[in-house]
Structure 1
Amino acid sequence: PGFEGGQMPLYRLLPKRGFKNVWAKEYAEVNVSVLNRFEDGTTVDPVALVEAGILKNVRDGVRVLGNGELTKKLTVVANGFTKSAKAKIEAAGGKVVVPGEEPVAEQ
């Protein structure tokens, strides 16, 4: 396959486009509005999101986006948060936790 009788094969003649970073992390994204499904005061982590049917695959982690409103007080555990998502969760009385990141001590 690919041999064309000595002339330059077509796959070598055509230009190659783009770049795919094989080490890039691919995060599953969840909007803040979806978190209203959970009971008030619960801890929402990737396992809870899969069990609730919100995510099928966690991939390399979960990132929470700030689309929508949150009305319940939740502790959300995820690999990343947008600034607006973090603000909305804390405004509702909830808590934001990033695994592996040390909590900031209040002085």
Structure 2
Amino acid sequence: NIFAKDYAEVNLGAIQQAVDAGKIEANATLDHDVLKAAGLARGGKDGVRLLGKGDLTTALSFTVAGASKGAIEAVEKLGGNVDVIHVVPAAEKAAAKKGTKYAERQAHKASFKA
């Protein structure tokens, strides 16, 4: 499917292992760039999806494109937080932009006629 979302899926257990190994700082906000630098998120042009597999023992804060209910509950139970951002798809950006150049050109032409 050419319209499918491409998320990098990361499990809580893998994140906890990275925190224990010192690859990730526990007090930082974890987003796609931080997880990619730690080697946990591969690909994922549409962002990171947080999954609840594994045990989390450290309170962390996340900024991700998606998260499962179990992952959100596990993070919030330890005092962390999960901010799910809305990523605007390229098709919606293009649709919103469509016709604006034409309207600008028509307004510019009309300014000469007036």
Q: Could you tell me the TM-score, scaled by structure 2's length?
A: 0.65
Question: Using a 3 Å threshold, how does the CA distance of structure 1 residues 96 and 60 change in structure 2: closer, same or farther?
Answer: same
Q: For the pair shown, which has the larger CA radius of gyration, 1 or 2?
A: 1
Taking a change above 3 Å as real, the CA distance of residues 26 and 100 of structure 1, as seen in their structure-2 partners, is closer
- For residue 53 of structure 1, report the CA deviation from its aligned partner: 1.2
Once the 2 structures are TM-superposed, how far is the Cα of residue 60 of structure 1 from its aligned partner? 1.5
Deviations 1:35-89 (A, max 9, x none): 2223332210000011111123232211011101111111111111101000000
Q: Distance between the aligned counterparts of 1:93 and 1:41, measured in 2?
A: 12
Segments of structure 1 that go 5 or more residues without pairing to the other structure are 1-20, 102-107
List structure 1 runs of 4+ shifted beyond 3 angstroms: none
- Which ranges in structure 2 are unaligned for 5 or more consecutive residues? 88-114
Q: What is the root-mean-square deviation in Å for CA atoms of aligned residues? A: 1.6
When the two structures are superposed, what TM-score results if normalisation uses the length of structure 1?
0.68
Tell me, in whole angstroms, the C-alpha distance in 2 between the residues paired with 1:22 and 1:61: 17
Identity of aligned residues (%): 40
Number of aligned positions between the proteins: 81
